[in-house]
């Protein structure tokens, strides 16, 4: 790369943006990261806090890459921690049908995963916090982590490698014809040879201010954090949630309808706390209004939740692509402009793997982006 400004400007200070900045800066690229509010201020800091296999054949490679990268990050003394073994995921239901179907789907798609069906006394012995009468599919996945931990750690790595991190309420791509020549941050131009937009649900706005190109939409999630020191050992999720967010969907995750609102049970234990959720809403919610519905629903699976002290509530806009898979790579019709966004629920689980891939593309390395992730599948900006 050449030029008097930055080699790469990254727009977005979430898990994708900070990890991409870390990879680029560590490879010697002069890197500037621009964030409008604060690091991990969106979904990267307000998620449920679990690195989880997406159970999608296309995203599985990004997950495996991410898990390996997290191992390196944990060893880098940057404040990030992740277990050496998964806590285990229990998909639970009051009916055995969804559990059996989900177990069969996962076993067929990923025969390398440890999948088992449980009910009655064996389930009660494995996870005594569960309500009686439940059925479960246990899968050997699920790593609880501090929600914003990986984002902050990658920002630390990026700065150690020489990247500059700056705040800017407004960051737009500076185009000259069909080429990106940098960004304009609060009216100030920052020249760059390449621009990567990793701004979550606000990515389309940065790429196409006209509003005509919108392959990513916001899906709002609400999570309630409670004190649960004797809570479950496993990550818990309602088995039916798979049909809503693409778990084990086979060839393609389902897309949300524009006005669809989904509410399902999930619980992620971390130390003495537990994150209880979750929602997939088309419009920004009032988090306080969701506390009682989420906890009441959760108490049907883990009765101890009903009396657990509430630590706080958080909400975030998840960047959901129209087909459930992220956009990774070069933006069609725009030289020097790249995108990595649209991970939906799988940001902290697949984001660094996707960021590594797009960083290699920006650096001109000989890597292939799967067609299912190519931004060109949605056309391009006006």
Give one DSSP letter per residue of 154-167, joined into a string.
HHHHHHHTT-EEEE
pLDDT of residue 260: 62
Number of domains present in the structure of the chain: 2
197 and 310 part of one domain = no
207 and 235 co-located in one domain: no
> Residue 128 in contact with residue 252, Cβ under 8 Å?
no
What is d(CA 98, CA 136) in angstroms, rounded to the nearest whole number? Answer: 9
How far apart CA 271 and CA 78 sit, in angstroms, is 20
Are 240 and 191 in a shared domain? no
**Residue 378 placed within a domain:** no
Pair 117, 131 in one domain: yes
Contact 347, 44 (CB under 8 A): yes
3-state secondary structure of 362: helix
Digitized pLDDT (tens) for each residue of the chain, 382 residues in all: 444 579 999 999 999 999 999 999 999 999 999 998 899 999 999 999 999 999 999 999 999 999 999 999 999 999 999 999 999 999 999 999 999 999 999 999 999 999 999 999 999 999 999 999 999 999 999 999 999 999 999 999 999 999 999 998 888 999 999 999 999 999 999 999 999 999 999 999 999 988 899 999 999 999 999 999 998 999 999 998 754 444 444 444 555 565 666 778 999 999 999 999 988 898 999 999 999 999 999 999 999 999 999 999 999 999 999 999 999 999 999 999 999 999 999 999 999 999 999 999 999 999 999 999 999 999 999 7
Neighbours of 292 (CB within 10 A): 10
Can you spell out the DSSP letters for 189-205? Answer: EEEEEEEEE--GGGHHH
Q: Does a structural domain hold residue 84?
A: no
Q: Are residues 295 and 358 in the same domain?
A: no
Q: What CATH code is carried by the domain that includes residue 151? A: 3.50.50.60
Instruction: Tell me, yes or no, whether 69 and 155 share the same domain.
Output: yes
pLDDT score for 264: 84
Co-location of 187 and 252 in the same domain: no
Which residues constitute the domain of residue 190?
6-79+147-214+323-373
31 assigned to some structural domain? yes
Classify 242 in phi/psi space as left (phi over 0), alpha (psi -120 to 50) or beta: alpha
Kindly report the CATH number assigned to the domain that includes residue 288. Answer: 3.30.9.10
């Amino acid at each position: 790369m050449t030029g008097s400004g930055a080699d790469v400007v990254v727009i977005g200070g979430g898990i994708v943006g900070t990890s991409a900045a870390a990879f680029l800066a560590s490879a010697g690229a002069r890197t500037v990261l621009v964030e409008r509010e604060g690091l991990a201020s969106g979904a990267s800091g307000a998620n449920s806090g679990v690195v989880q296999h997406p159970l999608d054949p296309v995203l599985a490679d990004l997950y495996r890459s991410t898990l390996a990268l997290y191992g390196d990050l944990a060893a880098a003394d940057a404040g990030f921690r992740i277990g050496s073994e998964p806590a285990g995921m229990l998909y639970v239901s009051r009916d055995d049908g969804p559990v059996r179907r989900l177990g069969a789907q996962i076993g067929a798609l990923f025969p390398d995963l440890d999948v088992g069906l449980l009910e009655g006394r064996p389930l009660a012995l494995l996870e005594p916090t569960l309500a009686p009468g439940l059925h479960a599919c246990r899968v050997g996945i699920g790593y609880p982590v501090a929600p914003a931990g990986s984002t902050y750690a990658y920002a630390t790595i990026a700065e150690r490698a020489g990247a500059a991190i700056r705040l800017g309420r407004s960051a737009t791509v500076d185009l000259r014809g069909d080429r990106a020549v940098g960004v304009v941050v609060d009216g100030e131009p920052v020249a760059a040879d390449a621009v990567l937009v990793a701004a979550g649900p606000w990515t389309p706005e940065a790429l196409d201010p006209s509003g005509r190109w919108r392959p990513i939409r916001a899906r709002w999630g609400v999570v309630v954090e409670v004190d649960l020191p004797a809570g479950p050992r496993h990550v818990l999720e309602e088995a039916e949630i798979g049909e809503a967010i693409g778990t084990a969907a086979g060839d393609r995750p389902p897309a949300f309808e524009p006005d669809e609102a989904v509410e399902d049970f999930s619980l992620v234990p971390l130390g003495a706390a537990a994150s209880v959720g979750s929602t997939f809403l088309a419009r920004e919610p009032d988090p306080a209004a969701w506390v009682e519905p989420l906890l009441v629903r959760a108490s049907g699976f883990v009765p101890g939740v009903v009396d657990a002290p509430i630590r706080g509530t958080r909400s975030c806009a998840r960047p959901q692509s129209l087909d459930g898979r992220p956009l990774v790579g070069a933006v069609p019709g725009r030289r020097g402009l790249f995108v990595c966004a649209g991970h939906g629920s799988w940001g902290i689980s697949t984001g660094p793997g996707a960021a590594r891939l797009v960083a290699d593309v920006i650096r001109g390395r000989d890597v292939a982006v799967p067609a299912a992730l190519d931004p060109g599948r949605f056309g391009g900006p006006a």
